[in-house]
Amino acid sequence: MADITRNKHLNPRRRHRTYPRVVKRARHNSYRVKRPGDHGTRHPGPATISLVNHRQLILA
């Protein structure tokens, strides 16, 4: 358990979003307003989860 919570790259740099964080209509928030060039990307499946400090498990 200590290996999983070790401070080695637990928070990597954020990747570029494939779907921009925008809103259709400006209200009382700090989000950008949607522009004609803001198109999202549809992905064929769910994201792949990778554990940072993953080691091979040995079953007894």
Residue 31: domain span: 1-60
Residue 40, judged by CB atoms within 10 A of its CB (0-12, 13-18, 19+), counts as exposed
Contact 53, 4 (CB under 8 A): yes
Model confidence over 12-48: pLDDT tens digits? 777 777 777 888 888 888 888 988 888 888 888 888 8
Domains in the chain: how many in total? Answer: 1
Q: Is the pTM of this model over 0.95?
A: no
